[in-house]
Amino acid sequence: MSQQHFDRRGRGGDGEPDADGAPPPTAPAAQSAERDAALDSLLDEIDGVLESNATEFVHGFVQKGGE
């Protein structure tokens, strides 16, 4: 078994059950799906408000120093 594989299991990031055999809790997964949907709709809304020419907007933003 490679170290890399062990690390992946250790973090539980790949969705496999934990080493001790406990089933993964289901509620967080549902919550996480809900969060993903919320993030998607947030990104949609943001796409709607951004000025269309990003490069011009960014390069045009030049100020004099302040304080």
Amino acid residing at 35:
R
Q: How far apart are CB 67 and other proteins at their closest, in Å?
A: 4
Rounded least distance, CB 32 to other proteins, Å:
10
Say how far apart CA 38 and CA 42 lie, in whole Å.
Answer: 6
Residue with tokens 């919320």: 38
Q: Which is nearer to other proteins, 21 or 51 (CB)?
A: 51
| Interface ranges with other proteins (CB under 8 A) | 38-43, 45-46, 49-51, 53-67
Nearer Cβ to other proteins, position 19 or 42?
42
CA dihedral over 11, 33, 31, 27, signed as positive or negative = negative
